[in-house]
Structure 1
Amino acid sequence: MVSIVINYLVILVVVLQLLSVSCSNTSKLISFSTHLIHRDSLESPLYDSSTNKTNFLERAILRSSSRFYNAKSISKFPNNNANEINSIDSTVSVSIYSEYLIEISIGTPPIKQLVALDTGSSKVWTQCLPCVNCFRQTQPKFNSKRSSSYKILTCGGKECKKLGNAKTCEWRYGKCTYTFKYLDNSSSSGDLAMETFKLGNNFFRKMVYGCSKNNIGEYYETIAGIAGFGAGPHSLISQLSDMVGGKFAYCLVHYLKINTRSKISFGASAIVSGRSTPLVSEYITLEGISVENMAFPIMVGHEKTYTRIPFRSHAILDTGAFLSYLPTGLYQQLKNALRSVIRAEPFENYHLKHCYRFDPNFPTLIIHFSGGAELVLTKRNTIINNNGVWCLVIHPTNSGETIIGSLFQMDYMIGYDLENKSVSFKAVNCSNH
């Protein structure tokens, strides 16, 4: 009997040790999720009950055009002046043009703030009382004087120094102030502070963010500010990096199900299996596009046949743009390949360059990235029916950059790993996540 008890105790100790090892490995990363709200969904404060499907698409197209052509994304790409990148954010007033909103709560007690999500920005700020020049806001403005956890940072501190040329210190008072400039000539200025954030059901202390008191430009009154998810030191994800390992993943529901919530996950639950592509700063590398082509079979070990369009370009995954943008040379090659498959001449219609007056048998497009990662895009992701006209959701651009817009990303789990500097893609039904 004694030996049985001893054996049982030995087994129990071994099991507990194994559980301890398992817990220690998984407890390194917290894991949580929250939701993204599309700006035109029923939940959004920007919802307009008079908007129909045609209005929705037209507005999304116009927002994409304004976002891209006003900014031209010049500071997102390499070979730019480092000081300029620090002082000018490549985002174009995302409070106007962003497609997705995320809810965070700030302060003690927490005050809910609905802010614009932007994967291309590294700034986090909301409007803050007392305001010098604030845009009209229907949400309650955050009052820093009523928060017990609010702390203004000093000019000589390391967090202030990370602002680079965006720093505009008030040396007389010793506090760190900033001016974030955007490429449409709008700006946001205020105090750099530390605060407690609530994201999902989790509280995060000592988060660095901008308490904005002076804003120049056009902003929607229902948006409180911006949550940047870029690679900069003050982005939301960078500040959570120790707890979530620099990992986040989002899954955008297709626009035909726009009232279904999209999801964003952090930490262990944000690990996306499959091939990844290297992330350098805020861009990935496009290596080519394949167009499905049954008329001109070229067999190279694939189950299906493709015509390969080789290319190499820096690319940004942009949740704030509905459309996608390709360098003019690549766009023209793609257009020629589509002509040979669909056997019809496209025409221009309402800001879109490649349209048909009939429902085309549109081929699958495969977007190839370095490292072997791919976006396999069916007709649902590449062409829209805008009031009886079928149009490709891609624009050419002379500036050489590639922008992967939100329609290309819909129904894909897209995982960022900022520690290992990679992005992964996995095709899923985002309505079920």
Structure 2
Amino acid sequence: MEWFLFQLFRTELIHREHPSSPMRSTAQQTSSEIFLAAVKRGAKRRARLSQKILAAGKIFSTPIASGNGEYLIDLSFGSPPQKASAIVDTGSDLIWVQCLPCQSCYTAIRAKFDPTKSSSYAAGLPYQSCNTSCQYNYMYGDDSSTSGALSFDSITIRTSTITNVAFGCGHRNLGTFAGAGGLMGLGQGPLSLISQAGAITSKIFSYCLVPLGINKTSPMYIGDSAAAGSDIAYTPLLNNIVNPSFYYVGLTGISVAGKAVNYPAGTFSIDTSGQGGFILDSGTTLTYLNTAAFTAVVAREAPRRPTLPWCFISLVWISPSLPLPPENIFVAVDTLGSDCLAMAASTGFSILGNIQQQNHWIVHGIVNKQVGFKTENIETI
């Protein structure tokens, strides 16, 4: 297809437990079991992120932060297109897929990409040092890994094709990645899909995550932020030169039921070593707050549990605030009315997880260095 500047196209984010997901568990699960399993995966992901962030700047190698994720998309590689499914990861950059010949690969739902059947495939990168063969090796924090040849080819998402995309053609892949054929990095680095498609999408993407248990996929737009509608409230995207791929925002305050929570100044600041700060991450289930802030939130929240339906938490950014109603704060864990706070304590950095992002348009704008928020009604998307 012919591309024009600032092309806009829509795809769908599929939660790993959605009926159409190849990652879905074979065993029948209740909504609370799905949530608790996601919490466990999210805790492991937070630990992997911690490994990367807290070790940043040291000379020894550290594992990449991602791995098994919560959402995936359907896409195709090559010409003619060969179908694949990839985990979506806003916390990493590299795009990769399992490739033939496969020296060591895990079992995936779809066939492995065969570069010999693609007329647009090219191995190597356009640099003198690796113009015919350039190898990559990614190790994830859960000991899974992928390695192979950095290559170029077309990527098709629904009916839209992006040409000359650099990606990893994985010939040696260890782990399961929950049955997905690879991973799509949506971070801010030069190898991410958003960065590589910047000339035609203005380096903007947005999504609206539907709650767990809803039999719908979550819309994602790559391109013009107008796709998320009007009344988007923006806050600056902060720069962390030590960890430049992550999406950091400046959290300046938290309120519970309209009253400010007190915690030490600088709790969410990024220090000179790259530690601290507040990250947006669609692959982590819970929101993890710096321990000092989390303790203060729980102390304020505990007396209000008898009036749960009327309790709101607001996260105040440098510019707008993000009001979180009860369905973004608490999750039912059984049929007896028990509920859990969908937040936990963290050290070293904080994360806005996907439970708190649900029912909101989240707009990432790399060029303008801003993130937008807007409450959404899932029935309208």
What is the identity, as a one-letter code, of the residue corresponding to 2:380? N
Q: Give the match's secondary structure for 1:213.
A: strand
Aligned residue number for residue 231 of structure 1: 188
Aligned residue number for residue 255 of structure 1: 212
Aligned residue number for residue 236 of structure 2: 277
Report which of the two structures shows the higher radius of gyration computed on alpha carbons: 1
Query: In structure 1, which of residues 120, 124, 127 is the aligned counterpart of residue 91 of structure 2?
Result: 120
What is the identity, as a one-letter code, of the residue corresponding to 2:8? S
TM-score, normalized by length of structure 2?
A: 0.87
**Identity rate of aligned residues, in percent?**
29
What is the identity, as a one-letter code, of the residue corresponding to 1:51? Q
CA distance in 2, matches of 1:359, 1:394: 19
Greater helix percent: which structure? 1
Query: In structure 1, which of residues 371, 377, 384 is the aligned counterpart of residue 331 of structure 2?
Result: 384
8 Å CA contact 1:277, 1:373 repeated in 2: no
Counterparts of 1:74-223 in structure 2 under 5 Å? 74-76=51-53, 80-81=56-57, 88-91=63-66, 93-94=67-68, 98-154=69-125, 156-157=127-128, 174-220=132-178, 222-223=179-180
Aligned residue number for residue 3 of structure 1: none
8 Å CA contact 2:209, 2:218 repeated in 1: yes
Cα shift readout 1:242-264 (whole Å, capped 9, x = no counterpart): 1000011001012241x211100
The number of aligned residues is: 357
Cα shift readout 1:346-374 (whole Å, capped 9, x = no counterpart): xxxxxxxxxxxx7834610001122x132
8 Å CA contact 1:248, 1:271 repeated in 2: no
Q: Give the match's secondary structure for 1:178.
A: strand
| 1:267 maps onto 2:223 in alignment | yes
Cα shift readout 1:260-292 (whole Å, capped 9, x = no counterpart): 111001212446622323242322222221111
Aligned residue number for residue 260 of structure 2: 307
Q: Give the match's secondary structure for 1:129.
A: coil
What is the identity, as a one-letter code, of the residue corresponding to 2:237? P
Aligned residue number for residue 243 of structure 1: 200
Q: Give the match's secondary structure for 1:43.
A: coil
Aligned residue number for residue 30 of structure 2: 52
The alpha-carbon deviation at position 183 of structure 1 amounts to: 2.2
Q: Give the match's secondary structure for 1:322.
A: coil
Cα shift readout 1:127-167 (whole Å, capped 9, x = no counterpart): 00001111122311101111111100158448x6xxxxxxx
Counterparts of 1:294-373 in structure 2 under 5 Å? 305-310=258-263, 312-313=267-268, 314-342=277-305, 360-361=308-309, 363-370=311-318, 372-373=319-320
C-alpha RMSD over aligned residues: 2.4
- TM-aligned CA distance change 1:132 to 1:80, over 3 Å: same
Q: Give the match's secondary structure for 1:145.
A: helix
Q: Give the match's secondary structure for 1:408.
A: helix
What is the identity, as a one-letter code, of the residue corresponding to 1:80? A
8 Å CA contact 2:107, 2:176 repeated in 1: no
CA distance in 1, matches of 2:285, 2:87: 15
CA distance in 2, matches of 1:340, 1:307: 15
8 Å CA contact 1:253, 1:261 repeated in 2: yes
The alpha-carbon deviation at position 88 of structure 1 amounts to: 4.0
CA distance in 1, matches of 2:37, 2:296: 28
CA distance in 1, matches of 2:311, 2:128: 55
Q: Give the match's secondary structure for 1:325.
A: strand
Cα shift readout 1:220-245 (whole Å, capped 9, x = no counterpart): 2x210100100010001111111000
8 Å CA contact 1:32, 1:266 repeated in 2: yes
